[in-house]
Structure formats: C-alpha cells, structure tokens
Amino acid sequence: MLKGIDPLLGPDLLHVLAMMGHGDEIVIVDANFPAASVGEQTVYGSALSIGCDALQALSAITSLLPLDEFEPDPVLTMQVVGEPQTVPPVIAESMPTLDALGHKPVGLERFAFYERAKEAFAVVQSSEMRPYGNFILRKGVIFA
C-alpha cells in the first residue's frame, strides 16, 4: 500500500503506467472483451487485470495518467454494433469523470477498436459486466 495511490492500482499496473511514454495508449476493457488474445499483441505482451468495474478502473488510472493534450481524441470507446449513435450506459456514466479531465470520448467501430487495442501499450481487463465498457486512453505529457 502506498500513500496517495489508488489501492486498485497494483504493482504490475503501476509498472506499466510508469513505463508508458507520451502517445502510448492503455486500454480498459469489460469482462466480455477478448483481453487475453488482444493483450498478447500489445507492447506489454499480456493482459492485466483490475478488480473493479470499468468506471472505477477509469478513475483509478486517470488519477495518475495524464491524457494527451496535443493530439485530438485521447479517449476512444467502442461503438454499439449496428447502432453507432447509441451511447452505452457505462460510457454515459463515464462522462462526468471525462468532463472533469476536459475530454469527450469518440467512438470506434468494434473491429477498429480491436485493431487499435492490439497496438496499445497494454490492456487492462476490468470486472465490468455491462457491454461496451471499453476505453482507449492516450497518455499525455507530465509537465514539471
């Protein structure tokens, strides 16, 4: 246990967050996402796990990870299949957290999301049971 760090962020996830550089992406996924197979293709090489829902994971990770301010769309989500304009409940519930960070999510088609996730630094599987609880976060710069 460390002071000032969300206890949901275990040692492996803290290590990944510390290794990431500006522009690297981390993916928070729900329990339905193929995290093991996608995680094998990431820079880190395997999926990580966090024992909470996607919103708690988003809050914990963004408590340490700055989002990119230099490029557009540092937060991506998965669109509902066949209904790209529909905002899933889990994404709607994330809006206050993302608004506080100054960002709005942009949806990606399901298979485009999978491909983008494979290029990420790491995948973190949450215990989120609601579908479409998936986020790609692009790391920004920490100014001294």
Which residues are annotated as catalytic?
A: 22, 68, 114
pLDDT score at 107:
97
pLDDT score at 143:
83
Three-state DSSP at 88 gives coil
Closest CA to 134 of 120, 124, 142: 124
Q: Residues 22-138: name the CATH superfamily.
A: RbsD-like domain (3.40.1650.10)
- Could you report the per-residue pLDDT of 32-60, keeping only the tens digit for each? 999 999 999 999 999 999 999 999 999 99
pLDDT score at 144:
74
Low-confidence ranges of the chain (pLDDT < 70): none
pLDDT score at 2:
81
In this structure, what token pair is assigned to residue 136?
Answer: 């790609």
User: Contact 57/124 with Cβ under 8 angstroms?
Assistant: yes
Alpha-carbon torsion, ordered 82, 78, 124, 22, to 10 deg: 160
| Helices vs strands, H then E, count in the chain | 5, 6
